[in-house]
Amino acid sequence: MTTNKTGKQNWGMVVDVDKCTGCQACVLACQSENNVPINTQERFERGRAISWIRVERYWEGNYPDVKARFIPIMCQHCENAPCEPVCPVYATYHNSEGLNVQVYNRCVGTRYCANGCPFTVRFFNYWEPVWPESFRNHLNPDVTVRSRGIMEKCSFCVQRIRRGVRTAKKENRDLIDGEIQTACSQACPTSALVFGDLNDNNSAVSKMKHDERTYKLLPHLNLDQNVVYLAKVDPEKKIESHSVESGSHD
Amino acid sequence: MKLNRREFLSLAGKSAAGAVIFAACGLPEKELIVQSPVEMPEDLVKGEDQWYATTMGDFPGGDGIIVRIMEGRAKKIEGNPDHPITQGKSNARYDSALQMLYHPDRIREPLSRYSKGGNLNGISWTRAIKEFKDALNTGGNMTLVTNPLRGHPGSIASKFASHYGGVHINFDPIEQGILHKTVENIFDQKSLPHLDIGNAKSIMSFGADWLSTWVSPVQYSRFYGSFRSQSDRGYFIHVDPRMSMTAANADLWLPVKPSYEGDLALGIARIIVEEKLTSEINIEAYKKYLSPGFLNGYQLRDVSHRTGLPEEKIKKAAHIISEKTPAIVFGGGSTEAHTNGSFNLRAVYGLNILLGSVGVTGGVLPNPSSEIDDLPASSSGASMKEWEEELSHWRAGNVDTVIIRGVDLAHGLPNFLGIAEALNNVKNVIVFSTFEDDTTELADLVLPDSTFLESWGTDIPEPAPGYLVLSVQQPVVVSNSRGFADVLLEVSEEAIGSTQENMITSTITTLQKTGTGSVKASNSRLYKKGIQQRGGWWNTNYSGNISGSYRESSKTGEISTFSKTNSLGEGTEFHLIPFVSNSLLNGQLAPTPWAQQNPDPMSTVAWVTWAELNKSEADELNIDEGDILLIKSTSGEIEALAYPHPGVQPGTICIPTGQGNSKKGRYAENRGSNVFAILADKKDSETGALAWAATKVVVQRSGRNKKVAKFEGTVEARPIEPGVPVLVLGSGETADEAITANHHIYQNQFLNNSHADTGISHKDDETKTDH
C-alpha cells in the first residue's frame, strides 16, 4: 500500500554502519526520551526485552581472523509497511510525513503488526511496566507512558518533530536542517545516525542517500523504507568481481 | 505575564539555586528563569522545558552536558553542543546517570553507628557535622580518600587534608598512574596530551578501550567519526588479547599474548628502522637516548613467537603506520596492567617519536601546562604500593580518622589487602556516599553525598582538546542533599573557603580579568551568568610545546604470561583479564536499572557477571554457555556464567567489572561477582601500580547452569547470507557491486548445498530457484 506523501516534510534517517562503534549511546538516549520500560533480568531471559533501537552484533570468521560488525536497527518507517495493513483497528498507519505511526489508545494487542514486521522492531507490553514512584520524576511528559497490552516502537521521536515544527511556525521561519534531531541521532558520538527531511534536497540525509555505499535492509521485500544504511568498509576484504546479469533479482 | 530581565536577575539573586538556563550560540535568546518552582511565577513553569548547562562530575573526562528540566524535575541529559569535549554528543552513561538522582534507594539522611559492628541509625545533619568535627578535633592522624579529582573539588580536598595535617590519597580501581607517568616521561607533559585522532591517517592503539570507557570516550568517539569521514577513511589497528568494543571497530585486530605489547611495539620499531620506513631525522630522534643495539632483541621471528602473532601481520602493521601518516600510536588499559606495564607503555608511546607524530596535526599535541587559578588539572589514582603502605598505617592504628568519598574502597580493593580489617582499626571512618555499599558497611558515620546534578563544582577535562578548558558544574534541581566539598568547608569552619560556589565565583573573576576566553560581558555578574549558560570557560588561543624522548629503563618487569603449573588446585589455568563494563563502569552505575539492563556491546549480556572464554577452548573443556564457573586465584574465588566468545584468545578468561556489590540498592545488591576481589598481588616493577591484568586463575565447572540474560538470540549471530544485514565493502567497492557479488556467492552456496542434498541436476535447480 503506497502512501500519499502530501506532508511538507518526509522524515528519514541515514545510518552509517562504518562509523557505528556499538557504544549503545543511542539505545540509552531513546530509552530516556521515550519512557521505554525497564528491562528486568527476567525479561531478557524470556526474550521479551523492549528496545526501540538496538545495536546488533554479528560475527564473521573464526579466531584469530574473527570480525564483529555492529548495526543499529530501529523501525524502518516503511512506505510499504507490512505491519500497517494487518492491524484490525487501524492503530498503526503511515502519515503524510513518512512516519509509521502507532496510536497507543487504539491498540487492542492482537500483535499482528509485530508478526508482519521482518525487522523485529515492534515490542509488545506483555506485562505492566513498573516504575518505582521516584523514577516517575524523570519520565518525559511529552511521551505517553504505555501500559500492558500495548504495542510500541520507534516513532522517530515524533514529539521532537512536533515541537520543532511548532517552534518554527511560532517564529515564522522554515525548519533548519539538523534542528530536529531524534534522541538517538543527537546522542550518537560518531554521527553515525543522521536524521532529517528527505524532501529537502539540501538536507544531509538527502545528500547521503545517494552515496555509493547506500543499501536498504531486505530490499527484495520492496518495503521502501525511510531508513537507509551506508555499508561498512573493510579494507582487508578481498573483492570478487562479478558482472551484473540481466534478469537479476536485485 | 513574562518576567523581564531585570526582574529575573532580582529573583535569581534571592533563589537558593540561582541556576541559569543554557543558551547556546545560534539559538534565539531566551529569558533567564529561576529554576525553583517555589519562586517561579506559575505561568512560566507549566509545560515549558528549560535546559541547564553543567558537567558530568565524578565521571572521567570532564564532559560538558545540558540537562532538561521541566517543573523542577530533571528529564534528560544530553551533550552540551557548545562544550569543546562533547559538542552535543553523549554516551550510554549520561542517561543512566540521571537515575541516580531519583533513585528510591538513595541515602536520605546522615547515618551513625554508635559502636563498631552496630547498626546504622538516622541522625540529623546538625549532629552529623558535630560528630565529624569531633572526630577531627581529637588531633589524631587523618587520611582523606577520594576518586581522582580535578578542579575545585580536587583543590578543596587537598587543602582540607593539609589544614588538618592529613593525607589526601586518590583511589581508582583500574589504575592509570602508569599512563600519566609515561606521558610525563616521554613527552614531558603534566597532563594527558591531546590525541588528534580526527586528523590522523592511521591509528594504532594498544589495550585502551578508547571508544567505550577509556579516559574520554565521547571526545574520542567524535574524533573517530571524523577519522572515518576522511576521503581515504583512515586505517585503524588495535592490539588487545580480547576483542573489546574498540577492537571490533579496528580494520586490523592483533590478539597479542598478554604482557607482550611492549615487545610488539619494539618489534615494529625495529622493522621501521631496519627498512627505513620513516625519515632519518625521526630514526635519530628515536634512537637518541637508547643504547646501541637496543632493538637487537626484537627481531621479527622472535617477536612473532613471543607475541603469538604472525610475522606478516606485524610487518603489515609496521608498514601501515609508517606509510599512512600522520599516525598516532597510544595505549593504556590492560597494556599497562602487567608487571612490565611501564615498559610496555613507554615502548608504545615511543613509536610516535619514530613516526614523527609528536607536535604535528594528526599526531600527539600538547595540552596547556598553565593552570587555571592553581586548580589541579590532572589526577590519577595512587599506586598499589602506596596503598599498601597507607593501609599498613590503618591496620597499625596509626590513623584516627579516615574520610572516604566517591569510591567504594571495599569493593575496588583486592581481597589480599584486607581492607575490612584495616578499617576496623581506624577509630573514625566517615564515608560520603549516595548509596549504601560495601564501604558504608564499614563506616562509623555515613553522609549522603549529592549527585552531580545537585551541587556546584568544576572540572578541567583530561585530556583537554589542546587548549584551556574549565567545565563548570551547577545544581540544576533543588535538593536537600549537601555536596561533599561544601560539607568539608563547613566542617573546617571556612578556614579554606566559605562555599564552593563562592570559590568558583572567585576563579571566574580571575578569568574575567584575563580578558580572554569564550565569554564576554560588561560586568562580573553577567560574566558569571555567561559561564553558567555556556557550561564553562575555554580559551582556544593557546600554543603549547611538546617534544618526545624515549629512554629505556633498567626495570623491564616480568612477562605475565605464565606456564601452566596447576598450583591453585583442580581445574584449568587461565590468564584473567578484567575489563571495564561499558554500562556499569567500575560499579558507579551499578545501582541504576538503565545501566544494568544496557546490553554489553560484544556479548549483549546484561544484569549478570559473565566470563568470556575462547569458543573452541570452551568446546574442548565441555563448557557451555550458562555453565556456572568457579574462578579461583590466590586472593579468593568468584562465580561467573560462561560465555563462549569467538574473539577471546585461548588461555585467557575475561570478566567485566561493576557487579558483586553486597548493597547499592535493589538493582545492584547481591548481583553477580566482583572481579576486583580476586586480583593477585602483582605490581608494575617501576611504579608499584597494581598489575590488574596479571592474575592467574583456575577455572572449574560447578555443575550448575543458568540461562544467560542477553539480548541476542539463542543461535549465534552470523550472517545468514553475505551482506545481510551488514553489507561489507572492500576499498573502492560500491554497494551495488557488493550486493551483486554477494548474490552470486549465496546462489553458488545454495546450489552447491542442493546438489549435495538431493542430487538434482544443475539445470533443474535453476528453474526451481525462487527468490
What is residue B312's predicted lDDT score, i.e. its pLDDT?
97
Q: Are strands B652-656 and B572-579 parallel, antiparallel or unpaired?
A: parallel
DSSP bridge pairs for A75? none
> Cell match 504505555: residue?
A146
Residues of chain B with pLDDT under 50: 1-6, 8-18, 23-35, 41-44, 756-771
CA nearest to A35 within chain B? B75
Is A198 a member of any domain?
A: yes
Percentage, residues of chain A above pLDDT 70: 93
Domain count, chain A: 1
Distance from CA of B411 to the nearest CA of A (A): 23
What is residue B571's predicted lDDT score, i.e. its pLDDT?
85
Which of B98, B729, B731 is best to mutate for the A interface (most A CBs within 10 A)?
A: B729
What is residue B27's predicted lDDT score, i.e. its pLDDT?
36
What is residue B40's predicted lDDT score, i.e. its pLDDT?
54
Contact B99 A135 (CB under 8 A): yes
Q: At what angle do helices B484-491 and B151-163 cross, to 10 degrees?
A: 30
B111-172+381-448 CATH, one of 3.40.50.740, 3.40.640.10, 3.10.129.10, 3.40.50.620: 3.40.50.740
Contact B709 A67 (CB under 8 A): no
Closest CA to B591 of B96, B214, B78: B96
| Residue range A147-168: mean pLDDT, rounded | 96
Q: How far is CA B710 from CA A45, B463, B519, B601, in A?
A: 7, 34, 47, 11
Q: In this structure, are residues A224 and A205 in contact, taking their beta carbons and an 8 Å threshold? A: no
Distance from CA of B592 to the nearest CA of A (A): 10
- The segment(s) of chain B belonging to CATH 3.30.200.210 are 5-102+453-539
What is residue B639's predicted lDDT score, i.e. its pLDDT?
97
What is residue B752's predicted lDDT score, i.e. its pLDDT?
78
CA B254 – CA B265 distance, rounded (Å): 12
Q: Name the class of domain B5-102+453-539.
A: alpha beta
| Chain B positions in Cβ-Cβ contact with residue A56 (cut-off 8 Å) | 712, 717, 725
DSSP conformation class of B175: -
- The segment(s) of chain B belonging to CATH 3.40.228.10 are 177-365
| Residue range A227-240: mean pLDDT, rounded | 91
What's the domain range around A215?
11-230
Q: In this structure, are residues B714 and B636 in contact, taking their beta carbons and an 8 Å threshold? A: no
What is residue B720's predicted lDDT score, i.e. its pLDDT?
81
Nearest to A32 among B95, B601, B725 (CB): B95
- The segment(s) of chain B belonging to CATH 3.40.50.740 are 111-172+381-448
A209 near B CB under 8 A:
no
Is A124 a member of any domain?
A: yes
Nearest to B647 among A63, A237, A250 (CB): A63
Task: Count the Cβ atoms, other than its own, within 10 Å of residue B281.
Answer: 9
| Chain A positions in Cβ-Cβ contact with residue B608 (cut-off 8 Å) | 41
What is residue B748's predicted lDDT score, i.e. its pLDDT?
85
Contacts of B445 (CB under 8 A, 6+ apart): B110, B111, B112, B113, B128, B131, B132, B135, B428, B429, B430, B431
Contact B92 A191 (CB under 8 A): no
pLDDT band, residue A2 (cuts 50/70/90): very low
Q: Could you tell me the CATH number of the domain that includes residue A189?
A: 3.30.70.20
Distance from CA of B672 to the nearest CA of A (A): 12
pLDDT band, residue A241 (cuts 50/70/90): low
Report the CATH fold assignment for B572-705.
Answer: Barwin-like endoglucanases (2.40.40)
Task: Count the Cβ atoms, other than its own, within 10 Å of residue B392.
Answer: 12
What is residue B542's predicted lDDT score, i.e. its pLDDT?
76
B177-365 CATH, one of 2.70.70.10, 3.40.50.720, 3.40.228.10, 3.40.30.10: 3.40.228.10
Closest CA to B223 of B120, B105, B341, B87: B87
Q: What is the ipTM of this complex?
A: 0.94
Contact B616 A63 (CB under 8 A): yes
What is residue B129's predicted lDDT score, i.e. its pLDDT?
96
- In three-state secondary structure terms, B358 is strand
Is A3 a member of any domain?
A: no
Distance from CA of A166 to the nearest CA of B (A): 13
CA B722 – CA A69 distance, rounded (Å): 13
Contacts of B714 (CB under 8 A, 6+ apart): none
